[in-house]
Amino acid sequence: MVYPDVKSTWKNVDRAPDGEARHNAYAVFDDLIDISLDGIMTDDGLPYLRFTESAQDLFDSWRADLEVRLRSGDEPAAIESRLSKFRSLVPSMALLIHLANGERGSVNIDCARTAIAWAIYLESHARRVYAPVLNSDMECARALAEKIQQGKLGNEFTIKQVYAPHWSNLTNSTKAKAAVDILIDYDWLETREEKTGGPIRTIFIVNPTVKEL
């Protein structure tokens, strides 16, 4: 997924397709169609390749950093979900690059390094794609944080108390829910459930330290 960059100026481009590039692309597919599985490891009849030792070390190091980021709680849910898919995306891309280059045998470190570079590039575009939604949710969270620090909601409140006053960026239940979810992630709030004889009511409890910020 990449974000389109549209130039401010337009220029008509009318040229013949790049025949050499097309030929090279078709050659890759033809080569893969006729690939020999002789000497390739199999598991229940399914062929597979491994990283070389150096490539595996590079991938393990990159993944260790990724796993820390995924557990940090610093990323919005949408970005966290996208990044979690990179665990399999990077080795998959490394394998495709390896085979497209005409290589056989274990996937080397250059292919692993290129796949990681692709992942970094794709992450930057994912952030651009999600930015309008993420920024909107963050504006809701900022609005709620401001009301909390002003003492408008007291030390405990319900979701309805957040949107009922129709404060800016908190005008409906969807925006209120997005705001409290973010503030829970940032340890501004914690929750307590209460039985009411009907649906369980969720109470949001303000972290006392946030009023000192």
What is the β-pairing status of strands 201-206 and 46-48? Answer: unpaired
CATH superfamily of 135-212: Structural maintenance of chromosome 1. Chain E (1.10.10.580)
Span(s) in the chain for CATH 1.10.10.580: 135-212
| pLDDT at residue 68, as a whole number | 94
Percent residues over pLDDT 90 in the chain: 62
Separation CA 52–CA 57 (nearest Å): 9
User: What is the Cα–Cα distance from 72 to 80, expressed in whole angstroms?
Assistant: 10
Q: Which residues pair with 157 in a beta bridge?
A: 204
- The confidence band for 14, taking pLDDT boundaries of 50, 70 and 90, is very high
Q: Which residues of 67-95 are buried (b: 16+ CB within 10 A; e: fewer)?
A: eeebeeeebbeebbebbeebeebbbebbb
pLDDT tens for each residue of 21-66: 999 999 999 999 888 877 677 888 888 899 999 999 999 999 999 9
Q: What is the mean pLDDT of residues 96-123?
A: 95
